[in-house]
Amino acid sequence: MGYPHKSHPRETPVLSKHFGDPEARTLAGWKARGGYTALQQALQMEPTAIVDIVKASGLRGRGGAGFPTGLKWSFMKIGDGKEHYLCCNADESEPGTFKDREIMRWTPHALIEGCAIGAYAIGAETAYIYIRGEFTEPINVMERALAEARAAGIIGKNAMGTGKTIDVWVHKGAGAYICGEETALMNSLEGKRGNPRIKPPFPAVSGLFGKPTTINNVETLAAIPHILNNGAEWYKAMSLSSPKSSGSKLFSVCGNVSKPGNYEVVMGFSFKEFLYDLCGGPLPGRKFKALIPGGSSVPTITIEEAEAIAMDYEGFVEQGTMLGSGGVIIFDDAQSMPRQLARIARFYAHESCAQCTQCREGTAWMTKILERIVAGQGTYEDLDTIFDLSDAMTGKTICVLSDSCGAPVVSGITKFRGEFEALIKGRRSSTVTMPGVPTGSR
């Protein structure tokens, strides 16, 4: 396995600076690159002072929701006499997203350092890194790095000789997209089925093992040491759209594009330049058609809408979509949008935990209807049914998996209705088929 591209001159490599450098994976190599100085400094500080710096940096959660990290940490009441926990969400399963995988593969100590600082800042002695079960290589790399850090006394009962306890453990998942939802992740870690919990209570009140818990994404935590080393102002100043969105962000790019991979740019970067310059534009002889820019859960946009975007949390919303996890899926003019959206719906139908009726039934119905349209058996009423279904699936369930199925599909039908209608008009003569769905089946 290798990292497929060298950093582009217009990238701002902070988190990705050492991607592809095997020495950065080792403790000695990481220390030689300035590693663990932030943790050393943090353990001499008051936890609230660390939270204040993270607040001032403007760092927002990189997992998808974009919640301000410092504010989230401030919900943890230090000295309340309860155990506190930090969970690191490394269940990266959102289609189109593969950035946390690379952070763990190449810079495991950055994540350990971020976890240790985060745990200390929220008054936790234990942090669990929940990694999806399919990530065998990242798990092995993280386990090796943790063993090194533990043996060197960086984490453990006497972290860096300060007498403070900070334990960090890897917990391996077993194949369930929904465990990336924070409360499902906690259930899974507790040895339960990964069903999301009703909120409130929020994790900061009652989370893992019923105790106050903070849960942060891998990329969020990996940014923490850089913020402590360089200061909140440095992090804010990096962004072109400060103060709304600050810092740098890893974007995973996949689908029909010349140079897929991870790219780290500052917030506010031009999406048009990103797509055509950094990512090399479309494949030879093709044109970009549509994008799902924040992992498959966000609304579909046209290439024209995408070209107008400044890449920050607000910029994506202005064009009717979301930054989400930063997983950019690109479809070119050779792709059938009905077929691609049917496949996305099937993903959600497969991954629904089946607790809520709207989601369990809705995702399955939506898939069935879309596959029927793709098979050339659809009707115009089917499109209306999908819109009705999506209404019934949005904002009515315990978690947002159900909403996530409707968002790309409904926006995709709205923007590419002609492709759906062409399949419906040409009933029974469609040449586009879904894998596993025989043409003509209903």
Determine the Cα–Cα distance for residues 119 and 293; give it in Å rounded to an integer.
31
Q: Which of 56, 283 has the CB closer to another protein? A: 283
Q: How far is the CB of 339 from another protein (least distance, A)?
A: 8
Q: How far is the CB of 332 from another protein (least distance, A)?
A: 8
Q: Which of 50, 342 has the CB closer to another protein? A: 342
Q: Name the DSSP class of 198.
A: P
Q: Name the DSSP class of 156.
A: B
Q: How far is the CB of 154 from another protein (least distance, A)?
A: 17
Q: Which of 10, 171 has the CB closer to another protein? A: 171
Q: Which of 245, 256 has the CB closer to another protein? A: 256
Tokens encoding 78: 């230090």
Q: Enumerate long-range contacts of 227-233, CB under 8 Å, 24 or more apart.
A: 227/53, 227/54, 227/57, 227/59, 228/38, 228/41, 228/42, 228/50, 228/53, 228/117, 229/34, 229/37, 229/38, 229/41, 231/53, 232/53, 232/54, 232/56, 232/57, 232/58, 233/56
Determine the Cα–Cα distance for residues 30 and 23; give it in Å rounded to an integer.
7
Q: How far is the CB of 40 from another protein (least distance, A)?
A: 25
Q: Which of 256, 430 has the CB closer to another protein? A: 256
CA angle 442, 343, 327 (to 5 degrees): 165
Q: Which of 53, 359 has the CB closer to another protein? A: 359
Sites of contact with another protein (CB under 8 A): 1, 4, 83, 92-98, 100-101, 126, 132-137, 167, 169, 171-177, 188-194, 209, 252-256, 260-262, 292, 296, 327, 329, 331-332, 335, 339-340, 343-344, 347, 350-351, 353, 435-436
Determine the Cα–Cα distance for residues 259 and 281; give it in Å rounded to an integer.
8
The H or E element containing residue 131 is strand 126-131
Determine the Cα–Cα distance for residues 41 and 327; give it in Å rounded to an integer.
33
Q: How far is the CB of 237 from another protein (least distance, A)?
A: 29
Burial track 17-41 (b if 16+ CB lie within 10 A, e otherwise): bbbbeeebbbbebbeeeebbebbee
Given the structure tokens 């969400």, which residue do they identify?
89
Q: Which of 76, 228 has the CB closer to another protein? A: 76
Determine the Cα–Cα distance for residues 363 and 369; give it in Å rounded to an integer.
10
Q: How far is the CB of 181 from another protein (least distance, A)?
A: 14
Q: Which of 59, 189 has the CB closer to another protein? A: 189
Q: Is residue 331 left, alpha or beta, with left meaning phi > 0 and alpha meaning psi from -120 to 50?
A: beta
Q: How far is the CB of 87 from another protein (least distance, A)?
A: 12
Q: How far is the CB of 311 from another protein (least distance, A)?
A: 17
